Amino acid sequence: MTPAVLENGPTQAGPTVLVVEDEEKTRHSVAEGLQLEGWTVLTAATGDEALQVLAGGKFDLMVLDWMLPGLDGIALLRELGSRGAQVPVLMLTARDTVTDRVTGLESGADDYLAKPFAFAELVARCRALLRRPQLVTGRYLSCEDLQVDTRARVAVRAGVEIPLTPREVDILEYLLRRQGEIITREMLEHDVWKQARRFTSLDNVIDVQMMRLRRKVDGDGARRLIHTIRGVGYRLGKGPA
Ligand code: CA
């Protein structure tokens, strides 16, 4: 029999999500809530159990608690990373310091939600992760012949490493994770420069920085990937802006 060809067809059911949480009450309420969204939900109570479940099927998203008995959330992420797994991960945790957040994201989580959380917030974060194309989550990002290893923080175009400053790596990662989308200067200011609205706008700083980055990434612009959207911001992707 020919394999089914409807995998990505419009008739496909909702996304398949794995919820990993040792606390039974939270696990059940999250699972039930996500099922009400029409999603297929599987659960695991430990990191080891999660590895078994993940090995048995394809998942669109994992909601992962940090504090688990045995193999904890971070260890599980590292294990998955070493196996080259691509599932987007929303990390749940009671811990909420900047260091924790950074550790979580650097270990391969795509987003982070501190407990206690509102269920609507959880669903919104899940939806945002599910909207992202698979390609732009995880450690390795690419667009055409541009590749970035976000953990080693190395960018390569057409097989040649591009020397980038830490800030330029941050910007490039941000653009690659949102490729095809228009990125405003305000988004860069808030998400990359981590600045709240200031009295003096960073627009000029950002424009200069983007010009430098584009020179490095696109060179003479034969196959331009970073496009300026006049008066709005930037977009990374192939083809004209
Ligand atoms: Ca827990």
**In this predicted structure, which of 14-23, 27-36, 179-188 has the lowest mean pLDDT?**
179-188
Cα of 94 vs centre of ligand 1, distance in Å, is 8
Cα of 34 vs centre of ligand 1, distance in Å, is 18
Tokens of 70: 């045995």
7 has a pLDDT exceeding 60: no
Cα of 213 vs centre of ligand 1, distance in Å, is 41
Cα of 143 vs centre of ligand 1, distance in Å, is 37
Query: What single letter denotes the amino acid at residue 134?
Result: Q
User: What pLDDT is stored for residue 133 in this prediction?
Assistant: 60
Cα of 100 vs centre of ligand 1, distance in Å, is 15
- Mark out the alpha helices in 5-115 (DSSP H runs): 24-36, 47-55, 73-82, 98-106
Q: Report how far residue 127's alpha carbon sits from residue 197's, in angstroms, rounded to the nearest whole number.
A: 27
Cα of 110 vs centre of ligand 1, distance in Å, is 19
Cα of 73 vs centre of ligand 1, distance in Å, is 9
106 has a pLDDT exceeding 70: no
Which of 122, 113, 117 has its CA nearest to residue 39?
Answer: 122
DSSP calls for 42-70: EEESSHHHHHHHHHTS--SEEEEES--SS
**Tens-place pLDDT, residues 126-174:** 988 887 665 467 788 989 999 999 999 999 999 999 999 999 999 999 9
9 has a pLDDT exceeding 60: no
Q: Are 47 and 76 in contact (CB under 8 A)?
A: yes
Query: Domains of the chain, with CATH numbers?
Result: 5-131 (3.40.50.2300), 140-236 (1.10.10.10)
16 has a pLDDT exceeding 70: yes
Q: Report how far residue 147's alpha carbon sits from residue 228's, in angstroms, rounded to the nearest whole number.
A: 20
